[in-house]
A and B are shown apart, each in its own frame.
Chain A
Amino acid sequence: MIEKIQRLKILIVLMLIFSSSLVILNSVVKSAPLDDIYECTPFIDIDYNQSLVEQPVLPYDEPRMIPLTVKAKIFGSQMDLVAEKLKGVSLIVKISIEDVPDGCFASINPPILKFNATEEFDINYATLSFTIDKYLNAFSIKKVKIVFDVERLGKLVIAKNYCHDVSFIVGYQPQLSFSYPENNVRDITPMDTAVFPIEIENWGNSVTNVKTEVVDVPEGWQASILESIILNTNLFGNETIGKVSLKVKPPISFGYHEDREIIKVKMTPTTEFKDSEFKGEPVFLYFVVQSRGFATPGFEMCLMIFAFIFVCFIVSKRKTTKKNHRGRKK
């Protein structure tokens, strides 16, 4: 009986020893004492063409796509053994966008990358796409935050997150709006000057210097306009409307005139950043000026005075002659 009990005890002890050794050697629970020796940490790094992000990204433009080279490896005290053990098993990395600036939209694909769990960098590729759908301040630097979430690989590779920022520059988007408060047609006399007030509104994402120029001025005509006007951007809540006036003088050569011309004004939005000038597409404005009437030489008043004196002289002479006649009649 005692022998049976002893055998049972031995069996229980053996069972305990076997199970405990199994737990130690074939660990499922974290508390296994040797787990830390083999535990490796994944490491993720990215690389991309810097020139792609150095080019400013325009609001409302087509999505900017940046190919990313994602590199992954494991490191730890026994990484060579672990890598050997994990041969053929993939290190799973989930990629997602953590944060984007306001008005910016981004996605990254593929959402999962599989790497060989090696001590050397294994390379894979992903594409980051983003757009700007809002007027962000031109030339400001914005960041897209990408998160690489490495999945746990049993007890050998721990789970870890890595964040990487991809910076880009917001491009300058010029956008102007014009209006004629007093329309764009004038009927004047040759001695008059046609004045056209023009209202310009800046809808762009930067302080804009609108350079104005009268182009193809017809012969004999004179046209002048303020060379440039600086308009604020409404991104900072400033007044964005400016006014300029175009002054047109028709030909004033002596005689009767019936002149009509179209005056063309070119307006180019520009802005400056770090000693560089950024230009937008020029806009052309058209004005019709019609000049009708007599153009006098300018000394007509003198002529008038002389003529008046001359007439007075004749009239007085005639009067004396008439008097003489009457006298003779008498």
Chain B
Amino acid sequence: MKKLLGIILVILLVLPSLSLNALSKENNNYEATNNEPTQETLIKKLLRLRLNLGSIPGLGRYFVQQLRPPVAIQAYPSTVNLTYNKKIYFEIGGKDPQTNEWERMVKLAGTWSWAWASKIIKFSFEVVPIDNTSMDVWNIEFNPELIQMYPNRYNLEWPGAYDPFMTNVSVRLKPNVDPRIVTQDVVLKINVIREEISDKISFLKGAPEFIKKYRDEYIQKEEEIGGKAWFADPSYVFLFNLFSRYYFFIINLPLPYYEERIESTVEVLIKVDKYHLAELKAPESTVNIEPYQAKSVPIAIKNRGSHIDTFNFNVNCSYKDMIVTPPPALTIRPGEEKEAIVGIAAPKSFFSADEIASISVEAYSVDKPKEVFSNVITLKISGVYATGGSTINIGALLILILIVLLLYVYLSKKHKQRMKKLNGKQKQVSFYDSITSSIKSTVKKPIKIVKKQKKPKKMKPKKEVKKEKEIQKPEKEKPKEVKKEEKLEKEPPKPKLEEKPVEEPLPAIVKKEPDSEELKKRQAIQRVLQEQKKQKRKYKA
């Protein structure tokens, strides 16, 4: 007995020194292994022996509490695009990385080997509130809301054990009441909560009873989920019943009867897509436009979308030849209203009586050109437009030429009339001249005067003109004027030249032959002659 005690004491004293030596040597060994493997030393063998002798009960939380490796619970897909008022779906759960199939509930609950120690195991899901964002706009639903399993130690028919560990998540995002508040992209965090009602006393009862009846089934089921069938080994069952049940009981003793803890937190990156919505407000009343008039029509546009958006425009007009230009690109904040200007130019038309045309204005976001928001501007084209066009211009030119011609004719006529009046006076003068000459001749040859006095009835204006010419021949100073006068007298039509005032006095002269009157006339003729002489003198001067 004493000897045994002595050996144990020696071992206890020697081991620490051995371990210290091993540290230094093994470090050297590690360096050596990089180049060439060395033979395992005695110390190494001892250390291996020591390591293998001791079990490692404290491998970590998963191994202590759940006795199983963890399952990565995540979202599938891990990134989703979300649009306002549209529901999106994704899944949360654990997948086997090899098969890419959903893990069974029993695996997450603790496998067939250990889950029997609990009465109920539940998994539920909870959304972690998002910072700086109102959760009122979020509508998140889980289907199923709860994944649960009811294990027992008597058989392997556990309700919910084969349920896939997954839930469908539907997310809907509503626009904020205040459109200026923009919901940004978000990392949505969902806690996977585990609830468990444990049966600690069941550990004291020893190994589960189902291994007696359903051992093969147990091994198969455990293999299916990739677990280890601990209780398939009778020696393990023996040891468990002998020692381990107490050990497990003691370990689980501090844990509460009902436990709720966050198993995992799933993160989903939600990309809030730009929600494009524009409200176009066309003028309420009809826009009046005249033919060949150009004007701009303002149209209000309000961004009812989720983000700052740049809108571009398209315009279409139902009226042929109407020129319509789209407004420029506008960048608008959510909830903000701006004015877009549509340029309109009506075509030429001589007359347009309340013709109706419509302009379709389409706005679209530069990020999503296929999504179009439109409104219609109604136009009323009415009015008269006279000018314009080569035809009209030529017509106007012709009319102008015609007017000028008419004016010329009118003025020339008027001039002629004036000239005639003037000529009439001159004719009277020339007539008097003829008379004077005849008188002169009558003084010498009285009978001839009478004869000549009868002639005026047959007298023609041409002869008078000739006489005038004879009279005016001496006036060489202004021959052009005379010629003009002659032309003017030649041009007019003949009937107009037979003027009565010239003929009227002749019968009176011819028929009436009172002495006193003749004397008076002679006196008058003499006066006229005197005047003519004076004029001639003047002209000569």
Q: Hey, which bits of chain A sit against chain B, CB under 8 A?
A: 10, 13-14, 17, 20-21, 24-28, 33-34, 36-38, 60, 62-63, 65, 77-82, 84-85, 89-90, 92, 96-97, 103, 105-114, 127, 129-131, 133-134, 151-156, 175-180, 183-187, 198, 201, 203, 256, 258, 260, 262, 281, 283, 285-288, 290, 292, 321, 324-325, 329
Contact = CB atoms under 8 A, between A and B. Distances in A.
Given A77-B30, A178-B330, A108 B267 contact: yes
Contacts of B74: 109-111
15 contacts: A33-B16, A60-B367, A62-B271, A90-B69, A103-B184, A105-B186, A105-B269, A111-B74, A112-B264, A131-B271, A134-B184, A151-B60, A152-B60, A184-B341, A260-B294
B148 to A, nearest CB: 22
B255 to A, nearest CB: 17
B56 A113 contact: no
B84 to A, nearest CB: 15
Contacts of B387: 256, 258, 292
Given A78-B22, A185-B294, 11 more contacts: A10-B1, A17-B8, A38-B47, A78-B47, A92-B62, A103-B184, A111-B265, A152-B60, A177-B331, A286-B343, A288-B323
A81 B9 CA distance: 27
A77 B59 contact: no
B381 interface: no
Given A62-B271, A129-B78, A281-B366, A180 B328 contact: yes
A286 B78 contact: no
Given A129-B79, A183-B343, A177 B330 contact: yes
A96 B187 CA distance: 12
Give 8 closest A-B pairs by Cβ, nearest first: A178-B328, A177-B331, A286-B325, A109-B78, A183-B296, A112-B72, A107-B269, A110-B72
B26 A185 contact: no
Most buried by A among B19, B79, B296: B79
B57 interface: yes
B414 to A, nearest CB: 15
A287 B366 contact: no
Contacts of A321: 481
A60 B274 contact: yes
B331 A113 contact: no
A89 B59 contact: yes
B341 A183 contact: yes
B164 interface: no
A17 B58 contact: no
B320 interface: no
A38 B51 contact: yes
Nearest to A29: B58
Contact of B325 (A28, A184, A198): A184
Interface string B186-205: 11000000000000000000
Interface residues of B, number: 89
B217 interface: no
Contacts of B465: none
Given A17-B5, A77-B23, A287-B325, A256 B393 contact: yes
Taking each of B184, B293, B307, B332, which has the highest tally of chain A beta carbons within 10 Å of its own beta carbon? B184
B373 to A, nearest CB: 17
B296 to A, nearest CB: 4
B456 interface: no
A85 B56 contact: yes
A121 B317 CA distance: 69
A262 B330 CA distance: 20
B3 to A, nearest CB: 13
Interface in B268-286: 268-269, 271-272, 274
A184 B296 contact: yes
A109 B74 CA distance: 7
